[in-house]
């Protein structure tokens, strides 16, 4: 019997290592924003993802051309629902139609999450439609026997949080009544919470207190010691992520997984925005999320870089047009290894 152990254990060990490597490789995706007048065709975009070894994508609406291009690509997909469509999806029949037209019609597209509203804030008119729409989309997926394959969630930003250090993180008073029932829904259905986490904006808004190396993962040592949790923080990304984990604990969902659905750094247009800083941030982020955070040490952290291309029609501050990893001509702005 003992002589058989190596022949049994070695293949199992190889399989375990292979699975661990796969989870690391697949931990980083890229958001595919399309608010630009000079962007490549959807087929060219999917080909670029495959050529660069990017195995996960997020899109912000169920764009038909993108979904067609993704058929058979084996790229895992997050697809968002427009804020303006949330009210109509409070009708269960409309939710069933949405799932039929945008999910079931593409059986060879690997849908991973459906985001029922991106950065919907408690004071937005759409806020009251979010949870009923989530429930109806979930029911439509269950009716199609897809509930185990595709998870329903929302994507929030850090404005819903307050508290420092990270262990004192809570949802704001304004956000609490809005987000708590959503969190309960996610926990009941085994879905993660998606969160857009941007150290860049935290740094820009508080440069007097936050040093650039802390935001870029380049601090040589501990910057923040959390005396409440006795945890040390060497970068701002971990601090923001663990603040959200602390808020989830206080909201009664300590086991809820967080997926970082956006994180990026602009190459121009504002304070701290440069090709050098952006390249540093993206390279360090890709490497960092292979592990965990001080509060949740077990990794990888499923993360989506924002964004694939510069988008010259985005509104707002000038930086909004310069988050791309690639120029519209498909040339890389930075030397990044996605795998």
Catalytic residues: 119, 262
**Cβ-count burial of 11 within 10 angstroms (0-12 exposed, 13-18 middle, 19+ buried)?**
exposed
* Pair 138, 147: CB distance under 8 Å: yes
Token pair in block for residue 248: 């989830």
Give the Cβ contact number of residue 121 at 10 Å: 15
């Amino acid at each position: 019997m003992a002589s058989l152990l190596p022949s049994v254990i070695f293949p199992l060990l190889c399989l375990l290592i292979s699975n661990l490597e796969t989870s690391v490789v697949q931990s980083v995706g890229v958001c595919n924003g399309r608010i630009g007048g000079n962007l490549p065709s959807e087929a060219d975009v999917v080909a670029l993802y495959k050529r660069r070894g990017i195995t996960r994508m997020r899109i912000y609406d169920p764009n038909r051309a993108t979904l067609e291009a993704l058929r058979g690509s084996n790229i895992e997909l997050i697809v968002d629902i427009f804020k303006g469509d949330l009210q109509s999806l409070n009708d269960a029949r409309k939710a069933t139609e949405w799932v039929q037209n945008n999910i079931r019609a593409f059986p060879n597209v690997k849908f991973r999450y459906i985001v029922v509203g991106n950065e919907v804030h408690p004071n937005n008119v759409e806020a009251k439609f979010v949870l009923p729409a989530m429930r109806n989309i979930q029911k439509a997926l269950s009716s199609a026997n897809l509930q185990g394959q595709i998870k329903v969630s929302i994507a929030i930003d850090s404005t819903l949080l307050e508290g420092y250090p990270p262990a004192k993180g809570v949802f704001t008073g304004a956000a609490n009544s809005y987000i708590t029932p959503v969190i309960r829904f996610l926990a009941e259905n085994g879905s993660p919470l998606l969160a857009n986490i941007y150290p860049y904006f935290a740094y820009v808004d508080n440069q007097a207190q936050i040093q650039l190396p802390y935001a870029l993962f380049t601090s040589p040592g501990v910057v923040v010691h959390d005396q409440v949790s006795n945890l040390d923080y060497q970068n701002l990304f971990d601090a923001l992520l663990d603040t959200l984990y602390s808020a989830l604990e206080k909201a009664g969902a300590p086991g809820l997984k967080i997926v970082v659905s956006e994180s990026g750094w602009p190459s121009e247009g504002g304070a701290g925005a440069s090709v050098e800083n952006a390249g540093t941030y993206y390279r360090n982020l890709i490497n960092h999320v292979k592990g965990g955070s001080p509060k949740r040490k077990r990794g990888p952290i499923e993360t989506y870089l924002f964004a694939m291309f510069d988008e010259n029609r985005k509104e707002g501050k000038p930086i909004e047009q310069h988050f791309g990893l690639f120029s519209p001509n498909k040339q890389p702005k930075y030397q990044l290894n996605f795998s």
